[in-house]
Structure 1
Amino acid sequence: MKVIPFKIPVSQAESVIVNEDILPFFYGHMHRHKEMQLSLILKGEGTLIVGNYTQSFKPGDFYIIGANQPHILKSDTSYYNSALPGGVHAIHIFFEHEHTLSNLINLPEMEFVKRFLDKTCQGLQVPEEYAPEATKIFMKVSRSSGLKRLLSFIKLIQYFSRNLTDYKSLSTGFASAPFPEAEDSRMNEVYQYTMKHYAENITLERIASVVHITPQAFCKYFKKHTCKTYNAFLNEIRINEACKRIINGESTCISSIAYATGFNSAINFNKVFKKTTGKSPSEYIREYKREWKRAIKMIKQPA
């Protein structure tokens, strides 16, 4: 399976495209498109992969994904099992600034837009302290059309460019050229296999065999394209899944969660959890509950 070149449905009358997903689960394939993408998660949980970056997503999360960045919002397994209508809900804004909006963005008055887009081309997550105001403007963009939509979109970018000084990057911080198509396919095989088998003992020999190269060659290949080791990536996937299990109350025993997500001991699990999230499991639970209350409050606010 390769990274799918995805075609955004484009209206001839609109430069800024809005799509709303109300589905049983999110689109389940690694894909990319020429447009930059702003996404607001209103309902649903799972794992976000953008290029070589992985983290869990939840309601209230607000992302900017760069043009041609391979990405996937992979819903939790429970959404695929239940397949309930309206199980997930997100709104996406797409814009193609290098050609469609280039004449506007290259105007001297729009320099702030150009600087912001250049700075965020590798993707970012909007911090929670900026999300309420950004969401109000975002919803105005999604609910308008024509010139009103374009002006609201410019207002949203203006808000970001003036206020967004601290954010979480959706990359390693290293700029890199897009993968050739063959590399897209190979990296996607690694991602998909890891997502399916993370709870098992995935040795370097095993994962290297997925893409038909030696373990030594795989280590160099993965590090070259992600700026991290495969073991670090695997631990990120496992910790993301552990976070979801803890929050969903699937077990009251940390040890059982540790073993269920591929760790060989609770001690190792706690060590990796702290290193990955910066918090202990109990600290993570408390912070998540606070963020959840803020997210619900934000979503209920009128645009």
Structure 2
Amino acid sequence: MKFALQKSPIPESRIFVAKELKEKHFDATWHAHSEYQLFMVLKGTGTRFIGNTVQSFNEGDLTFLGPGVPHLWRSDSAYFDKRSKLLTHGLVIYFPGDFIGDLIEKEEMQQVKDLFKKARRGIEYYGQTVSRLGTMMSNIIAAHGAASIIQLLQMLEIMAQTKAYRLLHNADYIYRLKESETRRINVVYNYAAQHFRGRIALQEVADLLNMTPTSFSRYFRMKTSKSFSDFITELRIRHACKLLSEEDGKTISQVSYECGFNTLSNFNRQFRLYIKMTPKRYREQFSIL
């Protein structure tokens, strides 16, 4: 069974690929590939879908994904304002899991081996580690020959030793999507991204895939390990986090309704469930930074 969408960004003549990305928006197609991916956002905001997780992304967002973990970065400009001239800017490194060869089994590489195992769950870095790795990613793009390989190994050592990271999944989750299902997932995610601020009836999203509501609910839970309603709620909460941290002029009530919640009480309850604090407290954390 194939993964969502196979990509081969590394030419046969190269050990790894490091490049700078400057586009209208990041790749908004649900896909996976057989390489490890380290990706840093330098400019741009939006929502990232990694495996069965939904998170907002901003400048400085740094993630490390193992092979086969499906993902997409949907920029705000991609679906909130199609006329936007804003550009996204990022750095990405792709490398195969076997580029170290048999060395990965040696004692000196045990921490890196553990890192690769964690990457199957997706890793998000934060704090000073992001700044340090970001500088090294910029340097590695300009490096050539053996120096670039040494730089990559040094980065892996930092990534393996730092404690400034979060695993994106609570448990290992194996993603097995046929290529034919890629279109289905993209249709659902695109529709959800465009309409989550309003009411989305299960029937209308099921119709997009020519399914009954019951069949769609079963299908979506099987592919994402969560219900569609939970997915929409999480999408709304992540957008609320963005508004609370960036738009001081909006009241919490305004944020609530703009994100698709019908009542402030339900918004407060769901926000605490997902973020583990009140919207007011969340906003206060950003006001003192």
Task: Give the TM bin, normalised by the shorter chain.
Answer: 0.7 to 0.9
Within 5 A, what are the aligned runs for 1:89-168? 89-98=89-98, 100-164=99-163, 167-168=165-166
**1:106 Cα offset (Å):** 4.4
The answer to whether the 8 Å contact 1:42/1:90 transfers is yes
TM-score by length of 2: 0.87
Amino acid at match of 2:39: S
Aligned to 1:179: 177
The answer to whether the 8 Å contact 2:10/2:95 transfers is no
Aligned to 2:7: 6
**1:75 Cα offset (Å):** 0.8
**1:129 Cα offset (Å):** 5.0
Structure 1 unmatched ranges of 5 or more: 294-303
Amino acid at match of 2:114: R
SS for the counterpart of 1:25 is: coil
Amino acid at match of 1:29: T
Q: 1:128 to 1:79 in 2, by over 3 A?
A: farther
Structure 1 position 82 matched with structure 2 position 84? yes
SS for the counterpart of 2:260 is: coil
SS for the counterpart of 2:37 is: strand
Aligned to 2:228: 230
**2:282 and 2:237 mapped to 1: Cα distance?**
11
Q: 1:81 to 1:287 in 2, by over 3 A?
A: farther
**2:247 and 2:176 mapped to 1: Cα distance?**
39
Aligned to 2:244: 246
**1:108 Cα offset (Å):** 5.0
TM-score by length of 1: 0.83
Identity %: 27
The answer to whether the 8 Å contact 2:26/2:74 transfers is yes
Q: 1:225 to 1:28 in 2, by over 3 A?
A: closer
Q: 1:91 to 1:288 in 2, by over 3 A?
A: farther
SS for the counterpart of 2:277 is: coil
Deviations 1:241-295 (A, max 9, x none): 22223334285232232222211111111221222222322322233456xx6xx
Q: 1:125 to 1:79 in 2, by over 3 A?
A: farther
Aligned to 2:17: 17
**1:238 Cα offset (Å):** 0.9
Q: 1:282 to 1:10 in 2, by over 3 A?
A: farther
